[in-house]
Amino acid sequence: MINSNNRITQLLTQEHETILQLGQILKKINGLWKNNEKKFIEIIDFLLHFCQIYADKIHHLKEEQILFPIMIEQNPMLEQGAVGEMNDQHEMFREFIIEIKIAMENKDFEIAYSIFQKYVELLSDHIQIENFEVFPMADDLLSSEINEQLYFKALDVDMEYSREKNELTQKVNQLLKDLNIVIS
Ligand SMILES: [Fe+2]
Ligand SMILES: [Fe+2]
């Protein structure tokens, strides 16, 4: 018996919610490097770690290795279309992270911050395209059986990274709380 809630697309959409919290945190630390450099570095280091582990290793990898190949198998045109575009953007996000790290190492905080802002802006657009175009396309394209099979494959990945995923989610929530306290 197939449960229509067991869709890989639903699981990925939930992860998008956590990833989008990055933007809220980043907004709140604008200019922090001027009066608390240590705190700014600490938060950016965490955000970079979050992007590399949660957004990239846990989330993008599930899209690239579990969902997208099956979509392309069902409709090969997607490799040069919407799905190929999503894969290319994942690569671009990896390059952004490297650029932010270099700027941080050089203590070019303003530059690091503005690249990070651009990263979040592009990542938010990417997420909108997935939520409103690519995932609905996947739901139409894949049978409920396949969508559920992919959901369980994705859960296996989550099991493998469950400790990291929980820790990162908790830290993001804690940071949001702490920043509210500091700022209000
Ligand atoms: Fe993506
Ligand atoms: Fe995504």
Ligand 2 centroid from CA 60, angstroms:
6
Nearest to 21 by CA among 127, 138, 114: 127
Asked whether 11 and 131 are in contact (CB, 8 A), the reply is: no
CATH code of the region 9-183: 1.20.120.520
Ligand positioned closest to the Cα atom of 93: 1
Model confidence at 82, pLDDT cuts 50, 70, 90, reads very high
> Using one digit for the tens of pLDDT, what is the confidence trace for 94-130?
999 999 999 999 999 999 999 999 999 999 999 999 9
Taking a 5 Å cut-off on Cβ, the residues next to ion ligand 2 are: 130
The stretch 166-173 carries a mean pLDDT of: 94
pLDDT at 184 over 50: no
Ligand 2 centroid from CA 4, angstroms:
20
Q: Which amino acid is at 110?
A: E
> Using one digit for the tens of pLDDT, what is the confidence trace for 21-68?
999 999 999 999 999 999 999 999 999 999 999 999 999 999 999 999
Ligand 2 centroid from CA 170, angstroms:
20
- Chain centroid to CA 89: 12
> Which letter, b or e, does each residue of 38-47 get, where b requires 16 or more Cβ atoms within 10 Å of its Cβ?
eebbebbeeb
Phi, psi of 106 (to 5 degrees): -85, 5
Ligand 2 centroid from CA 59, angstroms:
6
